[in-house]
């Protein structure tokens, strides 16, 4: 139940947040919840709208991440290095190599190939049907 309400709460928090600039710190207030984060010198010079967009984007991303983790029934993201992933995944040949091997080009129509294939299949010469009462 709590995991279902968390994304909703984050969306409500983003939509109804109030920013107050004081001494390089930004306060995010919603009811009794108060989150404080420090801005760098370059970020202090940005407008309030840009700062709000940036933080709302970060909160949306965190909300999406938490939804994915909850659907996978994980508490945190797995810590797997790229080397381990490369070892575990099967090695698939590149698409171009497969196309070259079979001499097939997606946008070309090779009429002769299809006629040759039809010669190998049986054709119906006589159909016999029995009458039933």
**Model pLDDT for residues 58-117, shown as the tens digit of each residue:** 999 999 999 999 999 998 888 888 787 777 767 766 766 776 777 655 555 555 555 555
Q: In this predicted model, which residue has the larger pLDDT, 50 or 43?
A: 50
Asked if 46 and 53 touch (Cβ cutoff 8 Å), the reply is no
Task: Give the per-residue pLDDT at 63.
Answer: 94
Q: Where are the domains of the chain?
A: 2-71
Distances (CA, A) of 38 to 21, 23, 47, 49, 64: 10, 9, 15, 17, 24
* pTM for this model (two decimals): 0.33
Task: Give the per-residue pLDDT at 21.
Answer: 40
Task: Give the per-residue pLDDT at 4.
Answer: 60
Averaged confidence pLDDT in the chain? 68
| Res 118 pLDDT > 70 | no
Asked if 21 and 36 touch (Cβ cutoff 8 Å), the reply is no
Q: What values do phi and psi take at 17, rounded to 5? A: -80, 150
The residues, any chain, with a CB within 8 Å of residue 3's CB and separated by 6 or more, are: 66, 70
């Amino acid at each position: 139940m709590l995991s279902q309400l968390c994304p909703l709460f984050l969306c409500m928090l983003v939509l109804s947040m109030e920013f107050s600039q004081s001494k390089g710190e930004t306060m995010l207030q919603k009811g009794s919840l108060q989150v404080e984060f420090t801005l760098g010198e370059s970020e202090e010079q940005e407008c309030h709208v840009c700062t709000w967009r940036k933080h709302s984007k970060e909160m949306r991303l965190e909300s999406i991440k938490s939804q994915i983790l909850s659907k996978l029934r994980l508490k945190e993201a797995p810590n797997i290095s790229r080397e381990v992933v490369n070892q575990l995944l099967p090695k698939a040949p590149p698409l171009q190599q497969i196309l070259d091997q079979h001499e097939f080009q997606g946008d070309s129509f090779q009429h002769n190939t299809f006629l040759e294939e039809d010669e190998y299949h049986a054709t119906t010469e006589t159909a016999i049907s029995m009458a039933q009462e």
